[in-house]
Structure 1
């Protein structure tokens, strides 16, 4: 074969088996195929994915309680009243107004107050609502009861005299071991310790509700100026009184 003949021949491009099939389809055929394609399959895929994702998220948020957002105790950020409280700012309720939130009306949240601060405890309605073991605290400021443990008797914020529950009882035989001046000084120290214990006990409950992820602060109790002075001084409740013991005998060298 002559060299001139070889030079005149041009290599053929590799044939694409798909290309001929494409060339055989007319523009109308392509349009018809496009019209036959349904988007319902893609929509069904998206809906299925969103449904499964929703179930998984519900299960995670509810700590395994529900796949379908049916948990009884929803977190605060999923509750309308929580967002209202955040946007509207703190409430200021009188004791009379606060009493309406004792859990008897299912359409209202359940509020308790301690040391003048109001907390929404609606997520614990089974505890603080009617029939609950702590229903005595609902709808009022029962700071005194939190310390004394006398739920029914001490539904009041009046803390006067609560320190007595931490004071030892006087005993003439034991007290004779000190001089009058020494005994007076001893009682002053005992009173300071007792008041500190009351403060710590009340602070414990304030922190419990204030730091809770389940309950949240919504406002404050509004009282008339000088209200405490107009209240009669309360006696220490029986249960708290029974917890008191006699003063311990003096040890050698004790002052």
Structure 2
């Protein structure tokens, strides 16, 4: 069931989204050569705690997961696409890092992700991250009243195809509100004019996941969470929580 949010709900979701944006900014600022992924998780925990927010990631256990998720961020490095579990790995020069974070504040959720490099960036990684950002921006621009989910997915996918990047088949964004994952599913590929109509009050987490390998094939790590490219190519993940309004798309997860 798809729930359309009131203006009051959107204002509350903006506050939850602000916490997410601040957490991601703090994590990116602290990410440096030699810093561990567990230390970055602690940074995010501190931002959430200071805001009086909780994490929708911590303890989350969908049907596919062998164990509940143990952290407040997903930390995916290099060939890890999404759902990376923070551990003692210490960042190295040139690592491509994707951080996904959520927050629950006063019963409302926010969810966003960012990719960046640590130390000296490879040109191909810089291009991949830029493409993921453009794909997200294209999806946000398509999140307008009168469009359909197919238009949004087509906008995201067109950027990936133009750069000959891969995407994980079947993965995409989601509705969000009182729960982190709500209807509808938000595809990263679509046919214009098809799918669920975008209406005022619809809130979506839009999240392109691009792989440098053009196929987008992946495997799951033994931890049951981390998804990696099968060819070892690097990946980038960008996400914002976005509200569809009469005045156009409104990004709720800016810091």
TM-score tier (shorter)? under 0.3
User: What's the TM-score once normalised by structure 2's chain length?
Assistant: 0.24
The TM-score normalised by the length of structure 1 is 0.24
- Structure (1/2) with the larger strand percentage: 2
- Which structure has the highest helix share of the two? 1
Structure with more relative contact order (C-alpha pairs < 8 Å, separation 6 or more): 2
Which structure is larger by alpha-carbon Rg, 1 or 2? Answer: 1
